[in-house]
Structures are given as C-alpha cells and as structure tokens.
Structure 1
C-alpha cells in the first residue's frame, strides 16, 4: 500500500485541528501502542523491530518467537534490548547473549531479572559497579554467588548488598558489619531496612560506632546505664530507636516523650505502655507542626523539618499492638489508632465495621474499606472512592475502586457523572452499551477517553477517531486496542514509512 494518504479531512473534536484520517497526530505514540497490541500480526512486529525508535517496549511482548528475538538482538538497539532483558518469557540462551552485550544498561537490566546461574556468573564479572549493584538487589541470584559481592571492590555495591539482603548468611553479614567503609556498615545495620540481630560478639563495637549505633539499639538487652547514655545521644535516630525499645525504663520513656525532636516524641506516642495524658500531649504537639515549607529550617538543626515529617508519619502510623487487639481501640480519640484497628487481620463485628466505614477521618474509612472490601456497601464504596482525590494518584494510579466492587447499574450511572474521575470507571463495565462508549470517547477529559479506548464495545469509527486524539496517551491506548482493524494498523505503519 502506498504511503500516500487520502485527501479526505476529518475534524478532531478536541483540538479542532484538521486531521487526515489514518495520519495520527502523535505518530510515535500510535507506534508504541501498536507495539504492545496483542492482535498485531507477526509481520508487523518485524516492521516495528526494524524501526528502532520509540519506547522499545515491543521487547516485553509475551508472544515473541525465537526468530523475532534474533531480529531484535541483531538491531543492537540498547533501548529495545533493555526491554527484552526484562521479558519474563525470554529463554536463557538469549539471556546469555545479552549478558555478553557491550552496553552496560542492557546488562544492568538483565541483572535485575530472573535468569540462570550461568547468566549471573557472567554478570558478576561486569566491570561496571552499577551492574553488580543490581545483582546485589536481586533475590533471584543464588546465595553463594550473591555472597561474593560482600568482597566487591566497590563500596557502593557492598552497601547495596547490606541494605537489600537483611537475611544474608551470618558470614556475609559479619563481613559487611565489619567493613572499613562507613556506608557499608550503616547499610548492613540500618534503621530504615530492619535487619536481624547482629552476632553477639559484634554488639559492643556496633554500639560504639556512630554509623551503626541507631540500627543496633533495637537488638540490645538494654541495661539501665546504657539506656540513660543513649537517651542523651545527639543522634535523633538513636533516640527514636530507643523510644521504641520494649525495655525502656518508664522515667526515660516519659523524658523522651518531651524530647525536642517531634519524631522522638512520636515514637513514644506509638508505645503500648505510654500513659494516656502523655500520649494526648504528644498528639497535640505533632498536630501543631508547621505546614509552610518556609519554616523548615528556622531552627537550623533540622528539628522543624522532623516536625513536619512526624506529622505525616502520624497520619500513616499503623501499630501492631493495636492490630493484634483491635476492639478496645475502635473508638480511640486518635485516628491512627482507629485506622490501625480497621486494618487488623482479626475479624470485626459487623456493627464495628459499619462504624469505621462511617468514621469522620478518611484514613480510617479507607483502611476499613481496604481490609474488608466485601463488607463495603455500594453507597460507602462510592463515597470512599470519590473522596480519594486526584492528588493521591500523583505517584500511583491505584484508587479504592480497584478493590471495591460496583454493580453494572452504578458503573453506567458513573458514565454521566459530573466528576471525570468517576466517569473513568464506567468502561469497567464489560457490557457497556456502544452508545455510552461513543459518548465517553468524545469526553472532554483525557483520562476518560483513555479509559474507554480499549473497550470491546467501542464502535470502530469512534476507535479510529481516538487515533487522531490530541492527547498522546489516548492515541497510544487506541493503537493498543486488539479491536483496531488490521488495515488501520497498516496505515499507521505506512505513515511511518515502515
């Protein structure tokens, strides 16, 4: 077919730009969508491989034959090979070839995947430290091979191993805990990635070492003399860990409850044995944290910054001792304790579930809905999802509707909802009427058009119009629809000169 297109012009209803049918506004996005289209014929896959442009995600397709993989490797296009390395279905014979590839980004991707012992052995000899860093993170690497990284010449590789392999064999942990590099020892005894108790003979040295002191506090038997010394430690992390210790003397608990640092106080707040007046005072103190970023460095010691951090931690705090015995805390004056009770794995009476689903604090309602979605009535489910604002999906597309169930009649009502976030849910109805799908395909909101682009009941003409959409991700979604006619796939490829 000739790449020359018809002179017939249609109008894009979103951007009011004249578009030649078959000529997507965002051609590369259309090609990227085609690359993952499950209905794309093998011959067209070959043409996209030869294109050597775009995201390279075609390498992640689950239907690649040995011949297609050969062609991909022959392109020597690093972005494509990087995607191919992440393909779970890639045979090890091809992984061995990629392990010898000169591009370090390809080998780094392979080091993050599941592969054979032979592949990992090749990657262990990689000259670039960052390839070995990915091996240090990878739980699929056999233990004896991974253990070799404890003696790696790169301190960053050794630190990565200490951080990401907390349950390493004792001889590996011992090597890392006695490493000459501060970063390695700190990572192997981190407060942010809890590790098992260190070997007893290393405890005195780890407690004396400023970079490992905080991480070892939780493992101490904690005599009174040591507790008093640590209570005055200038390191905030040491005092935070001390405030959580189960053997902390009551007088030191109360002293840390008035610590200048809000994170230390918050650790006392979360203790089961904290007296109620002190818990209440700490809660009020943390809630008074400044909201303005201009105030973060006012004190010059980071305490104002930690105050705002503590405020965020308070909202997200989930306490295991509350989750273990939730009923006494379902009416707690503290939202985080009620949310902890709501997230308990223990079954709660129906009237308690209903009360927590109607809680005045959104975090409590959400915790209860996530814990027992099968107990959430439709009206409450809708309320919980509506209140999950757009700001909460900035870093993740997850929303409560992903675990809550809406009947067909509710999904169809959402199709005309004033809130575009709710209209996005309508295409989750597998039998959405074609007329409704067409209306959603011309919705002014880009997320709604994207959501409906792959629906099985969207008429062909409406689907083709989305190929001309002004938004890149809508074009990509339309091109990825398995219902896209083969002749339209051909037109996209022809327009790109493929």
Structure 2
C-alpha cells in the first residue's frame, strides 16, 4: 500500500477535484456516500481523514470493506474521538494500529483524548508495539491520574511510570500489588532510588542509560567523584549538575565550573545556597545570569538587579495540561512578577482566573501575550488577532484554531505584506467578491488556495478554477459550489471509470 503522500502525489486532476468535493461542507450526503463507495484511494483518504462526517457516512465508513479506508478514519483528527474508537475491535491489526497512533496534527496542536474506557481496552488487548510512539498523546489527564490505582492490572503497570509523582502510600500499594508485573515495575523504580544499585548498573560508556542515571537517579558519592575526576564523556558534569540528589559541596563546586553549560544547569537548581546565588547572579555568561534570574529564592528586587536579557525569538507554543496542577498562588505570584519569563510561565497556565487573563493580555512582552493566546481557552479575540499579527514563530497557525479567533473584519488585511496575514481574508464572511477573486491570483500559493474556498468567489471564477491544475482541489471544496455541479462531477468521474 502506498503512503498517504504517494497516494496524493499520484492522483490526477479529476481525482483531486473530487477530493475537494469530499471536503466540501455543502456536499449532500448522497454525494459523500457515492464518493466513499466509488472514489479512488485519494478521494477516500481525504473524505475519511480530513473532515467531520455526517452520521450516515460515518456508519458507512465503519462498515467499509477496505482496510485502508477504515484506517484513514481511525486517524481523523476532526471527528469526535468517540466515533474513531468504534474501530477499537476492528478485525484488522492495521486499523487498530492506526487508531492507537495519534492523528497527525500540526506541531503544537492538541490531540483530543480518546474515551477512558477505550484507553483501558487498548492497554488491555493491544500489543506493546501498537501502543508505542504517539498513543500516549491520546490519553486524558484524568486517565493518567487514575492509572496507579486503576482496577485493571495492565493499566496499573502504566501507572507505575508516574512513580516520581506518587505518594508514599500509592508507591507502597504498587510494591505490594497482587499483579506480578505491577510489582516488578514498581520494584525497578524503587531500585533506582538505591545509590549502590545504580552504581553497580551504571554503564561505563556514553549512552542513553548513563545519561538518564546521571541526571535523575540516586548517585553514590563514588559515582559523583568519578564524574568529577574521570568523566566518561564531555557532558557528564552537565548531567550530574541536573541531578536532584547532588551533595551541597558538589553543587557549590559546579557553580564555579569553567563550562558555562554546567553553571547554567546549576543556576536552575532550587537548592542553591546564598553564596552560589550571589556568584551566579553576576556570572560572565548571559545565559547563566538569565537562568539564575528566575530562581524562586530571589526577591523581586534581587531579580530586577540582575543583568539579564530575555530572548524574544523563542517558540511560544501550546503547552499540555501538567500532571500535577500548579499552586494557584504560585501562578498569581508569577503573573505579577517583574520578570517576563515568570509571567510567560503564568501565561501558559490553562486555568488562569479572569483577572489574570485580562492583566496578561495587555502585557508588554510578546511571549507573555502569545503564550496566553496559545493556551487559555478563553483568550479574547483581540489578543488572538494581535498575537497572530505580531508573532511569526513556530505554531503561529495554531492561533487561528483557538475558539475565539475573530472572523469579521479580516478582509482589511487583504493587502498585507505577510502572505499568512493576507490569507486571513479567507476567514472573513463579508470579504468583497472582487477582493476574493483578486487574491486567487496572489503570488503566494497558500493565499490562492485559501481564497479559492471562499463562498464569495464569483461563480465564473469558481468554474474556471475547477479546471485549474493547482486550484481545482480547494475550488471544489468551496461551499458555494452548487449541489448539481457536485453531482455532475461525481457522475462524470463514474462514467469515465
């Protein structure tokens, strides 16, 4: 079976046009059912994977005899996950594996979680290979939190992986669990808290296992001293600088390490003594000073006295809900901080109260405003638009998918120098037909494609684009396309076939 990219690349003009009809929100149900029954792989792929479907079409997809057609629906990010999981017991492993694989969405976009019951069933019945990779992105936060005490043993085994977040009572229960697999996994985590065991098992070469041990596991003094005197690799010192159990005298030693990467890592530790705080606050390396400037032990006055520079060219993305929610008072303190990085941290919190949303929406730091727009479910429309206009970094397009992103008035940007901003015109239902038609001739292909789908496109131009090699696909998805024209296109293809 060819890959989805190969399927699309080998589709001819007629197939791409019908794939556009398959995306058309105005396509009658009978047209969609005909495309599902008789369409080429490219048409069925787009129909089943790239849109919300009427209930009757969903039923037909679930019963479709072609394995790959059902697998396309299993990967659909637009439909309700409750519809996708109706394939949870599909007879074909290929379909089940694609259900377990999170739907492909632009980087930074959230994948809607599967129903908890379906996650339990998949963990209980699917092999580990199918549940690797991106499956975890489809598990709800509530489901993750329930795993360590879940009544199903296979789920508790997954819950053991949350060891660092578990209470002493929950850990003890897992160590005494009636299921041998749960007990073994819990014991493996407990061993990692034993410095003598870690010392015996520590690889003597640079590898992932050594990196993980040096950064996170319990280290004996002998291991620490060996890293200081005879490191295996050039990053060993920076690795142990991150270890939460590092002795205080070693923290002090590494705070003066000649490698700025080591000092920067040390600067992020919460257990710094006053002497290290003072030294790192005037470190010659700007990255070290920046890392130290957000230290929780500093007062706002001490923070402001540090010579740091906050970068504005970083990616400001959507952040997942943390397993352990932050303390609301800590979030409020950060939101009122003089430090932009702390305000950015607060802005990424999904549960900010309305007063802090209003405050941070007017913040003078771009990162604060964009992170608020990317993460808060009630980010106001003016903030979303302003963020899109001012931020040109990673996941910028995610802003247009936020619930409150505006539509009316966007045609005012039809002549903007940035093509992504010009393309916003396609979202404006009141854009003038002449403006829409003009932008289908835009020098940027993404702008042309976006405006080819605008319902205000003059009918004569829409008919012309149906035969355009480049724009036939988006033009056929235009909701202004007459139903009779869609029927004609489907019939013509069927006759040709």
Is the shorter-chain TM-score for this pair beyond 0.5, marking a shared fold?
yes
Corresponding residue SS for 1:343: helix
**Which stretch shows the higher mean deviation, 250-259 or 79-88?**
250-259
Partner of 2:420: 421
What is the CA distance between 1:107 and its match in structure 2?
1.1
| Alignment TM-score, normalising by the size of structure 2 | 0.61
Partner of 1:76: 65
What is the CA distance between 1:463 and its match in structure 2?
3.3
Instruction: Provide the alpha-carbon RMSD of the alignment.
Output: 5.3
Q: 1:244 to 1:164 in 2, by over 3 A?
A: closer
Flag structure 2 segments of 5+ consecutive residues without an equivalent.
Answer: 1-10, 102-112, 175-180, 203-208, 312-337, 348-354
What is the CA distance between 1:85 and its match in structure 2?
2.7
Output the CA distance in 2 between the equivalents of 1:146 and 1:236.
Answer: 44
Output the CA distance in 2 between the equivalents of 1:44 and 1:426.
Answer: 29
Matches within 5 A, 1:125-136: 125-126=125-126, 129-133=128-132
Q: Which has the higher contact order (CA 8 A, sep 6+)?
A: 1
Output the CA distance in 1 between the equivalents of 2:383 and 2:464.
Answer: 35
Deviations 1:161-201 (A, max 9, x none): 9778976874366523656xxxxxxxxx7xxxxxxxx5787
Does residue 53 in structure 1 map to residue 41 in structure 2? yes
Count matched residues: 404
CA contact (8 A) 2:81 2:114 kept: no
Matches within 5 A, 1:13-412: 26-50=13-37, 51-54=39-42, 56-60=45-49, 62-65=52-55, 68-69=57-58, 71-86=60-75, 89=80, 99-102=89-92, 104-112=93-101, 114=114, 121=121, 124-126=124-126, 129-133=128-132, 137=136, 139=139, 143=147, 147-148=153-154, 170=171, 171=174, 175-176=184-185, 198=190, 202=194, 204-206=196-198, 208-210=200-202, 211=209, 214=212, 228=225, 231=228, 234=232, 239-240=237-238, 242-244=240-242, 252-257=250-255, 259=257, 263-271=261-269, 273=272, 274-275=276-277, 278=280, 281=283, 283-284=285-286, 321=296, 328-329=303-304, 332-335=307-310, 338-345=339-346, 357=364, 364-371=365-372, 385=388, 388-389=391-392, 392-393=393-394, 397-398=397-398, 411-412=410-411
CA contact (8 A) 2:360 2:372 kept: no
CA contact (8 A) 2:286 2:309 kept: no
What is the CA distance between 1:245 and its match in structure 2?
5.3
What is the CA distance between 1:267 and its match in structure 2?
0.9
Deviations 1:85-123 (A, max 9, x none): 34655878x956662423x22011233573685896578
CA contact (8 A) 1:207 1:213 kept: no
Partner of 1:448: 447
**Which stretch shows the higher mean deviation, 483-492 or 110-119?**
110-119
Deviations 1:53-85 (A, max 9, x none): 11624235544445x455435543233111333
What is the CA distance between 1:452 and its match in structure 2?
2.4
What is the CA distance between 1:416 and its match in structure 2?
1.5
